Amino acid sequence: MEARMDAILEAPSFVEIRDPGDSRFDAMIALYEAAIPERERKSIAAVRAMIASPKHRVVIACRGGSVEGFFLLYVGARIALLEYLATEARLRGRGLGAHLYAQARRAAGDRPLIVEVESDREDCADRPLRARRILFYRRLGCRRVADLDFILPLPGSGAPPRLDLLVDQVPDDHVERAQFETWLREMYDGVYGCQADDPRLRKMISGLRDPVRLT
């Protein structure tokens, strides 16, 4: 068992996918659909578009010819946004997620790294799972943006999941609201293609204190 655990904890190979025709892309998509809740997923066409985008990094973790995990990262002018990170279910809790996160942090450079997570501040059936996910990122250095109910602008008529934003690579425990507003606007524009006058942006910004606390 000890030898097996050592093998799992050993860092895999990380490969950036730049060709949607790569056979490993299909394996990544299978993991994406298995690990990410449907209401949080973008379309497969949107994921394919990320591969061609100079502002996105699509990175898989490979070992022995198998795709064991991946992350999708937006790298913009002011921020980096970790849109998705997932590992095979059998490998969760064994260090692979931390390896992937370290790679994403490195790809973010000196930008603040923002993570979208389903909030554990509401009573729901999967609240313990949400809390564990948030704890995972907290242990890696993230802090929660206080007093923010982030509105995920995904297409569709259903209500979006309640999300929190976590932030890494920010030295202080606060950020000026005007600066944080530029982060939100870049997310809405660069990641989701929303307009600058989107009413959801105004709603989120109006509810924030100045400075915005990171807790």
What domains are defined for the chain? 11-111 (3.40.630.30), 119-214 (no CATH)
Q: Do 130 and 117 form a contact (C-beta atoms < 8 A)? A: yes
pTM for this structure? 0.90
Neighbours of 56 (CB within 10 A): 21
Q: Do 101 and 168 form a contact (C-beta atoms < 8 A)? A: no
Give 186's strand partners.
none
**pLDDT tens profile 157-196:** 566 678 899 999 999 999 999 999 999 999 999 999 999 8
How confident is the model at residue 11, as a pLDDT?
66
Average pLDDT, the chain: 90
Burial class (CB within 10 angstroms; exposed 0-12, middle 13-18, buried 19+) of 71:
buried
**Spatial separation of the C-alpha atoms in residues 188 and 192, rounded to whole Å:** 5
Percent of the residues in the chain that have a pLDDT greater than 90, as a whole number: 72
Q: Do 83 and 114 form a contact (C-beta atoms < 8 A)? A: no
Q: How many residues does the structure list for the chain?
A: 215
Amino acid at 174: H
| Percent of the chain as helix, strand, coil, to the nearest 5 | 40, 25, 35
Give 58's strand partners.
72
Give whichever of 68-82, 125-139, 187-201 has the largest mean pLDDT: 68-82
Q: Is the pLDDT of residue 10 over 70?
A: no
How confident is the model at residue 12, as a pLDDT?
85
Q: Is the pLDDT of residue 42 over 50?
A: yes
Place of tokens 């999941």: 161
Strand pairing category for 143-144 and 13-16? unpaired
